[in-house]
Chains A and B, each alone.
Chain A
Amino acid sequence: MTTAPTTSAGLGPLLRRLTGDEKHGPSAFSTLDVIWVLYDRLLRVDPENPDAPDRDRFLLSKGHGPAAYYAVLAAKGFIPEAWLDDLAGPESRLGHHPDRLLVPGVEIGSGSLGHGLGLGVGTALGLRAQGMSQPRVYVLLGDAELDEGANHEAIAYAGATGLPNLTAIVIDNQSASHGWPGGIASRFTVNGWTASGVDGRDQDAIEAALRGHHRNRPHVVVARVEPKEG
């Protein structure tokens, strides 16, 4: 057993249990700083009561490479650390794409790109319809994932309906095959979202950007990290 890490740097041993990789530290994982900041500083979620109706929601839309997500869930007590030792094994609850019915605290099963933002819009609307104005819905996407047209259906409608309790986070490691001329944020702001650009490795800046949402508009944080290798 390890003691629960108090900083993202302390996630190293948990990540190594998942990947068996001694070379790469936490910084090898593009989503790690954002997910850590969310779970360490922002999300009102409780591992003892992961289905509380008034909890905040974190939806990992970009289901690929969920190692950082699993490591944070283990560090924060949602899953036993021992689960990390058998990634995608025949009896494992943790696969290369997460399944919400197998992993406590996981809000959606994802993997096929372009599904999380629509589900997030529906979740935000469902909370609003039930008078729950406190919980916030965070959806994490990748810049290449934005290629999927379903995202643009969700971006346009969330802006049009002025969903105030929705935050999208785009991890930009410049992996979209054809790029996003004019910038990623503009895809959202033209539809009425507010936007913040941030260094995806600067945890204080990430926190400030995530807290920078407007009272009656959806918010996007574009977190730029080093370009994807290969």
Chain B
Amino acid sequence: MRETFVDTAGALLDERPRTAVVLADISASAFAPAARAHPDRVLNVGIREQLMIGVAGGLALTGLRPIVHSYATFAVDRAYEQLKLDLDHQGVGAVLVSVGASYDGSSMGRTHMSPADVALIDTLGNWTVHVPGHPDEVPPLLRAAVEHDDSVYLRLSDQTNDHAYEHDGGRLRVLRQGSEQGTVVVAVGPMLEPTLRAVAGLDVTVAYTNTPRPFDTAGLRALLGNRGVAEVVLVEPYLAGTSSGVVGRALVDVPHRLLALGVGRADLRRYGNPADHARWHGLDPVGLRASISGFPG
């Protein structure tokens, strides 16, 4: 996904004089050709993430559309106050593109993990959040994001689904239809593939989105129909429960049970590869099947 992002951002720099890219060394070599072509609009500030977001805010104040990029843990966790004040409080926006996702950088340890990034973004005002599940989903999402001035968080991952799905404005897309009384499972981004494998033979509906914010609450309500008590499972590739509040508010007048699966809060203090971490957090097909088939228990 990172390569697709770099290619698309480079094309946007060529096509749209309003776009600028701000980096803090991460991916700077990949952007070197774009920087040669647009030295005033590809800005690598060095390993300075507070400044990276501050610069983005300043660029936006002059009318440019900044695309800011780093590891999630540096761009969001480390620079949180800059996101809050240098973008939101100034009334300007940016397109924030992260890599590293939750445990893509597992071999580098906890310091390079950011499972809480979307939860942190959720504390800010009205950000759009995209979590593509396939590299081919990245270009249309990025292109749509530079068309306006609001803030967008584009969360790239090395974990991918087998298929890309067309950008349709963030609506839930039903990929597996269960019975009218069965559980509705919403899989976000790269969690789709393990979810589909997990539910083989179970009576569940699986819906996919790569745009958890704004969450397609109308689509979810429509999917639930007129069940007596709706059973909803969220499968998210970041902190478990990140979307619980959104779904709870959407279903405030609908009797429901909610199971929110995702990455746990504990620092496991383990390296290994992303597949190991998926297993440890119960996000591999075996773990997901155990959780979903045991719900509501």
Are the C-beta atoms of A154 and B40 separated by less than 8 Å? no
Closest 10 interchain pairs by CB? Answer: A122-B58, A118-B54, A126-B62, A122-B55, A153-B48, A153-B51, A123-B58, A129-B40, A126-B59, A150-B50
Binary A-proximity of B33-62 (CB < 8 A = 1, otherwise 0): 000000011010110101101111111111
Are the C-beta atoms of B91 and A118 separated by less than 8 Å? no
- Asked if A205 lies at the interface with its beta carbon under 8 angstroms from chain B, I say no
Complex CA–CA separation, A129 to B35 (angstroms): 13
- Asked if B169 lies at the interface with its beta carbon under 8 angstroms from chain A, I say no
- Asked if B86 lies at the interface with its beta carbon under 8 angstroms from chain A, I say yes
- Asked if A101 lies at the interface with its beta carbon under 8 angstroms from chain B, I say yes
Count how many chain B residues have C-beta atoms less than 8 Å from C-beta atoms of the other chain. 29
Are the C-beta atoms of A115 and B54 separated by less than 8 Å? yes
Count how many chain A residues have C-beta atoms less than 8 Å from C-beta atoms of the other chain. 32
Are the C-beta atoms of B43 and A125 separated by less than 8 Å? yes
The total of Cβ contacts below 8 Å across the A-B interface reads: 101
Are the C-beta atoms of A153 and B50 separated by less than 8 Å? yes
Complex CA–CA separation, A126 to B43 (angstroms): 11
9 sampled A-B residue pairs with Cβ under 8 A: A100-B91, A108-B61, A117-B54, A119-B61, A122-B66, A123-B58, A123-B62, A150-B50, A153-B50
Task: For the A-B complex with A112-B85, A118-B54, A119-B90 known, give 12 more contacts whose Cβ atoms are closer than 8 Å.
Answer: A107-B61, A108-B61, A115-B85, A118-B50, A119-B58, A119-B86, A122-B55, A122-B57, A150-B50, A150-B51, A154-B51, A157-B51
Are the C-beta atoms of A109 and B89 separated by less than 8 Å? yes
Residues of B within 8 A of A112 (CB): 81, 85
Are the C-beta atoms of B58 and A125 separated by less than 8 Å? yes
- Asked if B272 lies at the interface with its beta carbon under 8 angstroms from chain A, I say no
- Asked if A121 lies at the interface with its beta carbon under 8 angstroms from chain B, I say yes
